[in-house]
Structure 1
Amino acid sequence: MALLAYLLKRLLYTLPLLLAVIVVIFLLINAAPGDPVDFMIGEAGADQAVIDRLRAQLGLDQPLPVRMWAYIQQVLSGNLGYSFSSGAPVLTLILDRFPATLLLMGTQYTLAAIVGITLGVLAARKPRSRTDTVITFISLASFAIPVFWLGQMMILVLAYQFNWFPIQGMANLRRGYTGMDYALDVAYHMVLPAATLALSNIGLITRLTRSSMIGVLGQDYVKVARAKGLGERAVLVRHALRNSLLPVITVIGDTLPGLIAGAVIVETVFGWPGLGRLTLDAINARDYPLLMGMFLAISVFVIVINLIVDLLYAVLDPRIRYQ
């Protein structure tokens, strides 16, 4: 019951937070330089009457407070507006690209968590050993490498030089795969972008897991478990690892906004048809409704992930009680 009450309270707190997010996003987008009408007209130019008529059709001739109030009412009714550049509903464009981004993000998060936690546990077993030194060097190097440079190097070496993986895209459209063949083709195309995103997270998760595990392994209950004759694997997994995962999960949730920003670069480099490329296209086109819809969707996604992280605390540590 305490957990349910906490969940309901957090959902109530989310409503004013979303309203503030809508207002901030609207003000930031409209304060950005550039005019969508100028972009739509292009270098050919147009008469002032045509420009005024186009601005009126897009609603850009209204004062900023009027446009903001109209946008808030529009969003609260479930309508994110229509794209300036394509004329399609913003919600439809986002939902069309969301599965590709969710697949890429989920895959890289799973990969980063499994590899990072495993390396962190191995390093914490014997601190300052040769294994610990090697893992520390690898984790620091992976965390320090810029995502855009790593992606380009992977394309240059693994895709272009050795021809092991495809350079861009999500699937081979020429082959027309279906069913399991299509799923395997998507997984094959996802190797390089998922590995690029995961490597930077692996370094952070490894360092945090190592630090947390070293602190937990020195606790009395771990010493008692070893004194009872439990095997090293049981001590590490059942006693130490579970109690050291809370800060790791917190960091995974906190790094999500930065990871989404990295996804924009990675999806552009690898030609992945997700929300990242859609955001970049909207920025280049000064597509205000699409940009505001994208940022709102990302904000909601981050809020939901943070809520899930908070709820996982009670699952991993029964001592936590939500009041």
Structure 2
Amino acid sequence: MNARPRLSIGLPVYNGEEYLAESLDALLGQTYEEFELVISDNASADGTQDICRRYAARDSRVRYLRLPRNIGASPNHNRVFAESRGELFKWASHDDLYARDLLRRCVQALDERPDVIVAHTGQAVIDGDGRVKVPYEYGLATDSPRPPERFRSLLFEPGGDDFYGVMRAEVLRRVKPLDSYHHADRTFVAEIALHGPFHQVPELLYFRRDHPNRAERANPDKRSRCVNLDPLRAGPLHPTPRLLAEYVWGFVAAVRRAPLSPADRRACHRHLAAWMASRVRPGAGERVEDRAPVDPALLTVSVDALVAGREGGRA
């Protein structure tokens, strides 16, 4: 592929053979086709390389890169963005699923709303077989015209997976790259939100897979999760208190770097102080995937009907 694509999708992967082909089918089966798919293989030791090479051989939009050693999830996420060429960018996970119209609807939203810097869609948590466990009703105020309100909402409301939305690459280049301390993805998205509003397409098109081998599940404590993000976090120089302190400082630094008025900066600092005080309360840090599963009989969405490659269900 020589022409510059409108959209770049970056897919970092490590030992993802179990669900990788399903995710690639879902991405390559999108109704919006003007994109490149940059895959960076973090020195996988399973069948990931064979799967990636097979897809790259049959679809010119796929660019497969393989690292000689595991550099960690965060540097690999930054690498796929650095390798991208599009004016729009989206991170993709090797185990999630994407309805056929996800890219088309997000790109359309960005084209229609020049002020919006991230577009995403409705989402649900699915299990290993692709069955919906928990539909998620997006309640964040990331569409507010006021930066402090967007920041406050991202501090206090659980999950939205805006990290996996379609973003304007020029804005991504203005913020600090993804780090590897505890919840670094949250401070990263919060800094992006200080640059402009997000838009949520009101359709359920994104399916985040929760399974025992997902990084968050396979690494149950903060330190192991951070070492997964970057092996350099291993060792006595990165104890849990430091990882937590860096997390809090990540929000502070994001506010300092963002193009805010003095009044908006003060408002963000007030929200941050209130959030820090709230962390000592029971129930702080709720995760969407830990909510009770819904009754399947009440669901009206069919993953198999929406996602390319799932027409007959998972084999």
TM-score, normalization: structure 1?
A: 0.25
More helix by share: 1
More strand by share: 2
When Rg is computed on C-alpha atoms for both structures, the one with the higher figure is 1
TM-score, normalization: structure 2?
A: 0.26
